[in-house]
Amino acid sequence: MSDEKPHAAGNVDAGDTSERVGMAVLRERGLEPEELREKLLDAIGAEFTTYYYYTNLRMHLAGHEDYKEITEDARLEDRAHFELVAPRVYELGGALPNDIREFADRASCPDADMPVAYETGGFDLENLTAESILEVLLEAERCAIRTWSEICDMTHGVDPRTYDMAQRILQEEIEHEAWFVELLSMERDGEVNPAGHFVRGEPGDAPYSTNNRFNDSA
Ligand code: ZN
Ligand code: FE
């Protein structure tokens, strides 16, 4: 009977829960699922830390309500990116590190920390400018674009599930870069350099990556 159903059986024994066909099919197509999984952990480590750091950056844009609003969209969307991909790590046989420090250290992008010194509980606010914050935001988005582009390259034509996630995230990261190019151009250089789009309808809408519409069980 099973001879007539080409996919009824494969390399994994019936009932064996120590193996995953979802990983075996990647290996058969030349992608090491463990390598991809570690890359995804690094990438969502960066999304998670960026979400944290953007909280600080957004708060310190006091008086620039427009900048704050857009930074909030980018901040919440980075959290959505973490949420979207975290289940995929488990599907690939991995797990989130127990220690958040380990998770932060392996992030694939630099810390998006405040561009002024921090001593004994306070930032050196005298030397803080909106321009310097916008520069940190812009470079964080650029690192994210590079990261998710690499994951798109790794998975294209091989792993449709991860590719779909990565391309959704990449679309938002490219929009984030455009927002901060626009804001920094005007703030620093007095130059009009339109993003082509405005803030989200709701803060952090994540039109491509939100996992409410994509994966309710996450
Ligand atoms: Zn992101
Ligand atoms: Fe982003």
Residue range 19-48, pLDDT digits in tens: 999 999 999 999 999 999 999 999 999 999
- Predicted local distance difference test score (pLDDT) of residue 3: 66
Query: What distance in angstroms lies between residue 147's CA and the mean position of ligand 2's atoms?
Result: 11
- Predicted local distance difference test score (pLDDT) of residue 212: 58
When divided into structural domains, the chain yields a total of 1
Which amino acid would we find at residue 32?
E
User: Within a domain: residue 23?
Assistant: no
Q: Which bound ligand lies closest to the C-alpha atom of 107?
A: 1
Query: What distance in angstroms lies between residue 148's CA and the mean position of ligand 1's atoms?
Result: 9
Q: What is the CA radius of gyration of the chain?
A: 20
Distance CA 158, CA 152 (A): 10
Q: Which bound ligand lies closest to the C-alpha atom of 80?
A: 1
User: Within a domain: residue 170?
Assistant: yes
- Predicted local distance difference test score (pLDDT) of residue 120: 87
Nearby residues of 36 by Cβ (< 8 Å), 6 or more positions away = 26, 92, 151, 154, 155, 159, 162
CATH number at residue 128: 1.20.1260.10
User: Within a domain: residue 153?
Assistant: yes
- Predicted local distance difference test score (pLDDT) of residue 215: 55
- Enclosing domain of residue 67: 31-193
For the chain, residues with pLDDT lower than 70 are 1-3, 211-218
- Predicted local distance difference test score (pLDDT) of residue 210: 82
- Predicted local distance difference test score (pLDDT) of residue 65: 96
Minimal CA–CA distance to 42: which of 158, 180, 146?
146
Query: What distance in angstroms lies between residue 13's CA and the mean position of ligand 1's atoms?
Result: 38
pTM of the predicted protein model: 0.94
Q: Which residues surround ligand 2, an ion (CB under 5 A)?
A: 74, 78, 141, 144, 173, 176
Q: Which bound ligand lies closest to the C-alpha atom of 44?
A: 1
User: Within a domain: residue 98?
Assistant: yes
